[in-house]
Each structure stands twice: as structure tokens, then as C-alpha cells.
């Protein structure tokens, strides 16, 4: 026990050393030839994207249906966010790094691209890949490379880019795509359905525990482009997978749009752990630039005793609008949501979850930790709904806010819709401030103010960070420290 804590301290030292400097370190751009289509959005653009990807007719029809629906929708404004008007005609909807002509092996990735992902700490060569993590790297609109594919194939696990899945596994895609998040779900989901570029597809067959962590790394590189990827994870009976998602983008003055969809389906007794460390470029200190992150993530716990666990560490983006949710359909199914959302400077985050209890004896747990600094706004928005027939539903929600300074805001919006008397729903919320006296106490022990804040914040979010796989946990702690740099004094 003690040893464990000491190891954490050691990591923290490393983290501190690495972050001296403290600027957004993923802000570089890769100089690579990119194929882009002209700005703007209309039916022809949707057709063009589909054509670029060589898609079958059914996929194109799906896109067009979503597009015509989107045209009838309005951008939502119910979140506690101040979203500048987005000009959807000023965005490029498809950008792909042009790969150099392939020479030796089909798998050869452009060295420039390899270098980019190396710089981000994501090596694409299998022998160099972090032990036990298979990676799907997505740059701008296309998947660059999926590692460890053969190893996984031996177990019958499918892990490939979404485009590839459309070609190779059309039946699975047709069956599950849109089964959790219909294209009519919301404005950004509809848009994604029309123009999505790439993403990852995972299928874990019956009874298989995926032996390694699966991971997708999203990178926006090209200017003026939006990123619209989608992820679909299907876990069949008695299977298990842990899935990680990371994201970064170059530092640019203009805002860029990221509107993704993640769908998860779990069958009987299946379990999916989905972890995100979101570090899109947050904009500069004056609030210029940064990513608009409008994401729809939802899991359908279809089977009895199935379980989905969302863990997210949100430090980036200028605006975050995101509610990873669980539809607890199977009896005894379980949904968990662990979240840390950090906002600094002019960042805005409106994030939380929805737990929809449908089956009997379903349980959900929500642990949300917001950290606000600078002039940022940080909101938790969560819905717990217990349907009429959901006997014995249980929910516990813990929503904590930590404030640094007095120019930021923290808000909690819990919504309860309880339609069954047997439900037990508990909600706890706290708001605290990092006290000057706490910082001074640390100072008198030889800790700088930045170190003190790092320790306190990491202590505060420990419950959530502990849910992350080891490598990610360390990464997340680093990020927290960086994101809060310069937030005091």
C-alpha cells in the first residue's frame, strides 16, 4: 500500500520535471501533403466523401438520410455554454494525409506520419508499442494504421478502422451502427452521420477477454478541417475489453470543430471499460482558438448483467459538450461514469452523463470532479431516469467542484426522473476551494505553489484517475498539472 503511494510520488516527480515549460506541447503541425476537398457542406460533399472512401451504396444512402435530417435541425443552445455561431460552410469536411507511394509492404506508413505519432508518444511500429496496447491512429479524416491486428485476429477480435469495417464487415456495421445513437439523436450526431470520416470498430466475440488494451489516438492536423470520427464497440456475451481514446491538435488561432460519435453495445455479462484522455488544443490564454468538442457517446447495456464504465479526463478543448451515457436495458446491468473536467483561462465545459434505467435491478454510479480555474466555466449536467418497469434501480451520484480563484464558475445540474417507487437514488455534491492556507502550508514545507496545486488537484481527482489503466493514469496526471499551470498567483 505504502509502496504504491510512493510510486505515485515518483511518477509525480517525473511529471513535474516534464512539464516545466508547461505550454501545450502537442501544438506542432506536421508538414505533410494533405488531400482536402473544398470547404463547405452540401449533398455533393456528402457524396464526395462517400466516393473518396469507396463506400457501398447503403452507406451513402445512410449518410444522405442523415444529411437531409440535419438540414432541418437547429444547433442546440440549452447547455450552459456560450457558443459562437459556427459557420458550417467554412469548414473542410474531408482531409487525408497523402501517403507516399507504397513500396515494400502494404503496411508501410509514411515516415512523416510515423514521426508525428512518435512525437506524440504513440509509436506505430508494433515492437515499439507500449506493452499491451494496440493502437489505431487517426489523423484528420483517415485511420493511419492499426497495430497488433494479427495478434487480435487469432482470438477472433476485430479491431480496425471504421472505413475498413464498412468494407469488410458490412453486416455488423449495418446491424449496430446507429442502434445506440440514431442519426436523429441530436444536431451534432446528425452532422456526424452525414460526414463522418473514419474512426475505429471493435468486435469482441463471445467469451473472449481482450488480452490487451485497445486504443485510438485522434489527431487533427490540417487547418480549417472538422474531425468527425465514429467509434463502434460491440462486446458479445461474456466478453471484456478495455478501450482507450486520446486526442490532440495543433495550436491554431481559428476554432476547429470535432463532432464524434461513440456507440457501445454490450450483450449478456459483457463488460466494456472506455477511457478517454481528452486534450484537444484549448485555445490560448486570451481564449483565442481551440477545439469545439461536441461529442455524443452512449452505451447500450443490452444484455443481462452487462456493464459499461466510462472514465474521462477532460482537460482540453475551448468548448466541451459531452455526456457519455448508459442505457441500462438488461436486467442487473451496471453503468458507471467517472469524470474529471478541468477548465482554465477561457475554457468552457458542459459535461456529465445520462443513466437510463430500463431493466430490473439496474445500478449506476456517477463520480464527477470538476476543477475550474482562470475565467473558465465548468458545468456538470447529469440525468438519472428510472423507467416505470425498472424495479429496484439504484443510483449514487457524487458531484464535486473545486474552484481556484474567484473568476471561474462551477455549476451542477442534476436531473432526476423517477417513475418507479422502488428506486433508490442518492445525490451528493460539494464545492471546495483550494485555500491560500493550504498552499502556504505546502510552501513552508518547500513545495512551490505549482507543485502544491498539482498535489492537491491530483489528490482531489484520485478516485477517477485510479480507474484509468496505469499508463493513462500517469499521462492524465501530467495533463492536469499542465492545464492548471499559471492558474494561481
Enumerate binding residues for another protein (CB under 8 A): 1-3, 5-10, 12-13, 435-438, 440-449, 451, 455-456, 458-460, 462
Residue 418 Cα distances to 325, 360, 391, 394, angstroms: 17, 14, 11, 11
Cα separation, 159 vs 458, whole angstroms: 33
Q: What minimum distance in Å lies between the beta carbon of 349 and another protein?
A: 21
Nearer to another protein, 111 or 459 (CB): 459
Q: What minimum distance in Å lies between the beta carbon of 344 and another protein?
A: 19
Q: What is the DSSP string of 300-356?
A: EE-STT-EEEEEEEE---SEEEE--EEEE-STT-EEEEEEEEEE-TT-EEEEEEEEE
Nearer to another protein, 149 or 462 (CB): 462
Count CA atoms closer than 13 A to 323's CA, side-chain side: 23
| Cβ neighbours of residue 81 closer than 8 Å, sequence gap 6 or more | 319, 321, 348, 350, 377, 379
Nearer to another protein, 9 or 153 (CB): 9
Q: What minimum distance in Å lies between the beta carbon of 97 and another protein?
A: 42
Nearer to another protein, 134 or 456 (CB): 456
Q: What minimum distance in Å lies between the beta carbon of 352 and another protein?
A: 22
CA quadruple 470, 471, 473, 474: dihedral positive or negative? Answer: positive
Residues in the chain: 489
Q: What minimum distance in Å lies between the beta carbon of 124 and another protein?
A: 33
Cα separation, 45 vs 49, whole angstroms: 6
Nearer to another protein, 416 or 455 (CB): 455
Nearer to another protein, 5 or 388 (CB): 5
> b/e string for 267-279 if b means 16 or more Cβ within 10 A?
bbbbbbbbbbbbb
Nearest Cα to Cα of residue 274 among 201, 334, 336: 336
Q: Give φ, ψ of 320 to 5 degrees.
A: -120, 130
Nearer to another protein, 428 or 437 (CB): 437
Q: What is the DSSP string of 356-396?
A: EE-STT-EEEEEEEEEE-TT-EEEEEEEEEE-TT-TT-EEE
Nearest Cα to Cα of residue 357 among 397, 337, 322, 329: 329
Q: What minimum distance in Å lies between the beta carbon of 17 and another protein?
A: 10
Nearer to another protein, 150 or 406 (CB): 406
Question: What would the grid cell of residue 12 be?
Answer: 509525480
Q: What minimum distance in Å lies between the beta carbon of 457 and another protein?
A: 9
Nearer to another protein, 101 or 446 (CB): 446
Q: What minimum distance in Å lies between the beta carbon of 8 and another protein?
A: 6
Residue 275 Cα distances to 317, 342, 372, angstroms: 17, 16, 21
Cα separation, 411 vs 401, whole angstroms: 8
The distance from CA 410 to its chain's CA centroid, rounded to whole angstroms, is 21
Question: What would the grid cell of residue 216 be?
Answer: 485510438
Q: What minimum distance in Å lies between the beta carbon of 435 and another protein?
A: 7
Q: What minimum distance in Å lies between the beta carbon of 446 and another protein?
A: 4
Nearer to another protein, 2 or 103 (CB): 2
Nearest Cα to Cα of residue 360 among 384, 386, 385: 386
Count CA atoms closer than 13 A to 117's CA, side-chain side: 28
Nearer to another protein, 92 or 313 (CB): 313
Amino acid at each position: 500500500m505504502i509502496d504504491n503511494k510512493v510510486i505515485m510520488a515518483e511518477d509525480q516527480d517525473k511529471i513535474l520535471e516534464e512539464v516545466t515549460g508547461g505550454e501545450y506541447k502537442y501544438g506542432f503541425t506536421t508538414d505533410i501533403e494533405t488531400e482536402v476537398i473544398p470547404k463547405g457542406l452540401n449533398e455533393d460533399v456528402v457524396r464526395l466523401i462517400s466516393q473518396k472512401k469507396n463506400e457501398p451504396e447503403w452507406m451513402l444512402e445512410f449518410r444522405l438520410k442523415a444529411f437531409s435530417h440535419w438540414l432541418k435541425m437547429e444547433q442546440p443552445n440549452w447547455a450552459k455554454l456560450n457558443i459562437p455561431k459556427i459557420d458550417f460552410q467554412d469548414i473542410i469536411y474531408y482531409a487525408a494525409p497523402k501517403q507516399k507511394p507504397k513500396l515494400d509492404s502494404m503496411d508501410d506508413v509514411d515516415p512523416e506520419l510515423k514521426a508525428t505519432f512518435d512525437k506524440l508518444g504513440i509509436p506505430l511500429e508494433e515492437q515499439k508499442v507500449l506493452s499491451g496496447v494496440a493502437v489505431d491512429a487517426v489523423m484528420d479524416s483517415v485511420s493511419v494504421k492499426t497495430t497488433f491486428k494479427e495478434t487480435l485476429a487469432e482470438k477472433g477480435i476485430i479491431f480496425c478502422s471504421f472505413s475498413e469495417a464498412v468494407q469488410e464487415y458490412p453486416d455488423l456495421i449495418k446491424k449496430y451502427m446507429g442502434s445506440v445513437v440514431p442519426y436523429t439523436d441530436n444536431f451534432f450526431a446528425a452532422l456526424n452521420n452525414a460526414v463522418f470520416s473514419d474512426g475505429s470498430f471493435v468486435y469482441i466475440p463471445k467469451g473472449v477477454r481482450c488480452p490487451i488494451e485497445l486504443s485510438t489516438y485522434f489527431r487533427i492536423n490540417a487547418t480549417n478541417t472538422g474531425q468527425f470520427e465514429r467509434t463502434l464497440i460491440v462486446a458479445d456475451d461474456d466478453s471484456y475489453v478495455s478501450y482507450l481514446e486520446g486526442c490532440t491538435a495543433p495550436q491554431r488561432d481559428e476554432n476547429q470543430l470535432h463532432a464524434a460519435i461513440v456507440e457501445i453495445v454490450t450483450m449478456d455479462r459483457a463488460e466494456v471499460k472506455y477511457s478517454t484522455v481528452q486534450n484537444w488544443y484549448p485555445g490560448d490564454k486570451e481564449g483565442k482558438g481551440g477545439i469545439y468538442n461536441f461529442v455524443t457517446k452512449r452505451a447500450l447495456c443490452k444484455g443481462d448483467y452487462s456493464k459499461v464504465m466510462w472514465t474521462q479526463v477532460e482537460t482540453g478543448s475551448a468548448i466541451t459538450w459531452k455526456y457519455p451515457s448508459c442505457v441500462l436495458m438488461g436486467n442487473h446491468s451496471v453503468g458507471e461514469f467517472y469524470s474529471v473536467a478541468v477548465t482554465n483561462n477561457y475554457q468552457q465545459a458542459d459535461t456529465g452523463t445520462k443513466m437510463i434505467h430500463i431493466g430490473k435491478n439496474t445500478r449506476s454510479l456517477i463520480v464527477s470532479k470538476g476543477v475550474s480555474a482562470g475565467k473558465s466555466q465548468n458545468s456538470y449536467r447529469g440525468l438519472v431516469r428510472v423507467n416505470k418497469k425498472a424495479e429496484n434501480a439504484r443510483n449514487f451520484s457524487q458531484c464535486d467542484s473545486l474552484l481556484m480563484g474567484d473568476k471561474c464558475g462551477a455549476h451542477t445540474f442534476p436531473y432526476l426522473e423517477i417513475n418507479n417507487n422502488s428506486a433508490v437514488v442518492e445525490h451528493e455534491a460539494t464545492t471546495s476551494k483550494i485555500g491560500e492556507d493550504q498552499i502556504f502550508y505546502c510552501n513552508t514545507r518547500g513545495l512551490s505553489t505549482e507543485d502544491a496545486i498539482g498535489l492537491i488537484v491530483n489528490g482531489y481527482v484520485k478516485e477517477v484517475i485510479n480507474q484509468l489503466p496505469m499508463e493513462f493514469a500517469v499521462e492524465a496526471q501530467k495533463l492536469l498539472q499542465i492545464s492548471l499551470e499559471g492558474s494561481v498567483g
